[in-house]
Structure 1
Amino acid sequence: MSNSHKAILITYPFEDAAKEAISLADAAGYSIERVVNQHHITRSRYGIGIGKAQEVKQLVEQEKPEVIIFDEVLKPSQQYNLASICQVEIIDRERLILKIFDRRASTAESRIQIKLAQLRYDMIRAREKVRLARAGEQPGFFGMGKYDADVYFLDIKKRATVLKKKLQKEEVRRNLHRIQRSKAGLPTVSIAGYTAAGKTTLFNSLTGESKITGQGMFTTLSTFTRLVQSKGTKLLISDTVGFISRLPAYMVDAFKSTLQELSYSAVVLL
């Protein structure tokens, strides 16, 4: 991929895990130059052991990647420590997924949902950074003072509250559409499952639509519904957001209004 950014991947030594992580990296615009396998990537100081961290440092010197992609969730202190050794940006699994979401967002609702998920990611880390600053384990907020860290944390909370209110308005709109469909007696068939499993391809085949497919993970981030008629029967078919393993609860919650469509479906195709 000519527009890809070089990266080193640290992941588990299992084929499925590595394949998924590489697909995520590709969807986010990264080309994996080297893969580092490690059974334990949740160790306290660097996410990996010190010996493996030194090994990664040597790979960085050889490959000159722009980032290291870490296929797990890292605490701010772990991210900081590993970046200090390797002298390159560290992107953990959740940040990588958020980058994909940001690239794929195509509707107003999905953009709001993604911004909310990003703020929740930052909020979790802001708490940790504030804790480190107060405990004196790191000098300030990685360069910011204690007061600035508190202000930043409160700012994140305020912005998240604003986005939640916007999503509530979107939920009201969805409920109105749902009520209208119910009054019309139109059953809904929803297509659900793993991301990049071919849900949109099936949706296009059933509806005659031409939604974009084949662009990797999370091509669809909003529910799309179309009316079809088969043998004199009218029904609605919905293409839904796909998910992957180890997706954090706050990301799922950010897409709650979209996923609620599944609970109102007469049939869910998996």
Structure 2
Amino acid sequence: MSKKSILVARESDLSEALSLADTIRLNIVKKLILRNNYRPDRNYFLNSRLLDEVKSLLNTLNSNKTIIDSIYIYEVLHPRQVVNLIKELKLEVRDKILMVLEIFAGHAGSKEAKLQIEMAEITYQLPIVKEWIRKAKLGELPGFMGPGEYATETYYNHMRRRLAKIRKDLNELRIRRRKERELRVSKGFPHIAISGYANAGKTTLFNSLTKLSKPTGPEMFTTISPKVALALIDCSEVVFVDTVGFIRDLPPEVIEAFYATLEEISFSDLAVLVLDSSEPSNMIESKLKTSLDILSKIGYFGKPLIVALNKIDLSNDLENIESLVRDYMSSNYLWSWRLVKVSALKGKGLSELKKVLCEFLSPKTSEGLKTSSFRHN
């Protein structure tokens, strides 16, 4: 017998959802594709027709000895919807937040990353457990996933205490990270954040600029903790920071959990926004909009931005893509910006990128910095 999952996503989100599903190695037996203007049912997310369709599919597959153990819905679900779906379908219900966190968990290495993921999971689960308690008190459900009402409340209180402890530990780590950043700044190192959508090639660009070999891969979210390295470009020694990839409608729980990596962007002197130029133009425009929205939300204001069109060796429509990006940036970014075409993997366009970086940075000399005690993280 094989365990399989059902995936539910809107048409506009299907590509992203499938990429995430592939990264966490989901075995998808059925895709339910919703219209972009689909209006979710407030209690179940799935309307009665879709709910009946899923139940019928489960009955058919179970009779064939195929186990469906989960349904992944690529939306941010309300706790009420999660609880009602679990009750109705008798299987695990996971939404967009949990899909992202599953990927993060697979790449977590540092203590900070693990704490961030645990915090996000607890933040996500608390309202669901609270809703389960409410229904248990009304007699609609047993205790959370089995135990009685008292045990459920005890579990809820334990989660709240654990969340408070994690936040305290993470705050201490952020203070230490801030002090490290202030030390680098005091030594005169400009900070350049490499940002952008998940799987755009940010870490490959980071490696090309710093001569390092940090892990890369085709799966999304290879980077979940900031990578920091000192490198010499034409005009100065600078600190490059590789950051976690963006994703459309990034849930607040995930933004809070990964504040440490995102704050590196807001505190940087300059940011490079990496886009995958080999993707379809409508997808590039959507991701550019998402990236600018997230930069704004995390406080990257009044600073120059370099848009790096990456993977130009794979693009079939580079001229039109370049025109699209220029038009969008001209209309939507209020401060200085430049566009540079690169292939981080092939090393193309890196000299031009470094030249543009120097144009935006205040002139600095590397004299006196070569003996610094800065270490790569």
TM-score, length of structure 1 as denominator length: 0.90
11, 20, 24: which one aligns with 1:24: 20
Compared with structure 1, are the counterparts of its residues 69 and 258 closer, same or farther at alpha carbon in structure 2 (3 Å cutoff)? same
* Alignment partner of 1:53 out of 34, 41, 51: 51
Contact residue 75 and residue 128 of structure 1 kept, 8 A: no
Q: Which runs of 5+ in 2 are unaligned?
A: 274-377
How far the C-alpha of 1:142 sits from its partner, in A, is: 4.4
Which stretch shifts more, 133-142 or 191-200?
133-142
Distance 1:141 1:106 in 2: 31
Deviation at 1:34, TM superposition (A): 2.0
Contact 1:41 1:72 in 2 (8 A): no
Residue 166 of structure 1: how far off its partner (Å)? 1.0
Distance 1:107 1:187 in 2: 25
Displacement after TM superposition at 1:232 (Å) = 5.4
Post-superposition shift, 1:81? 3.7
Task: Output the CA distance in 1 between the equivalents of 2:251 and 2:236.
Answer: 39
Q: CA deviation at 1:89?
A: 2.4
Distance across 2 between alignment mates of 1:66 and 1:152:
24
For these two proteins, the number of residue pairs brought into alignment is 265
For 1:150 and 1:231, how far apart are their aligned partners in 2? 60
- Structure of greater relative contact order (alpha carbons < 8 Å, 6+ residues apart): 1
Q: Which residue of 2 aligns with 1:228?
A: 231
Whole-angstrom distance in 1 between the partners of 2:79 and 2:267: 40
For residues 33-52 of structure 1, the aligned pairs below 5 Å read: 33-39=29-35, 40=38, 42-52=40-50
User: How far did 1:184 drift?
Assistant: 0.7
Q: 1:257 to 1:61 in 2, by over 3 A?
A: same
Indicate if the aligned counterparts of 1:22 and 1:32 stay in contact, CA closer than 8 A: no
Alignment pair present for 1:127 and 2:155: no
Shift in Å, 1:248: 1.5
Larger Rg: 2
Question: How far apart, in 1, do the equivalents of 2:86 and 2:154 lie?
Answer: 25
**Percent of aligned pairs with the same amino acid:** 36
Give the Cα–Cα distance (whole angstroms) in 2 for the partners of residues 155 and 143 of structure 1. 17
Bigger mean CA offset, 59-68 vs 17-26: 59-68
SS in 2 for 1:34: strand
Q: Distance in 1 between matches of 2:122 and 2:222?
A: 22
1:254 and 1:189 map into 2 onto residues whose CA distance is 22
Unaligned runs of 5+ in 1: none
Distance 1:5 1:219 in 2: 26
Change (3 A) 1:143 1:88: closer
Task: Using structure 2 for the length normalisation, give the TM-score.
Answer: 0.66
- AA at the equivalent of 1:207: T
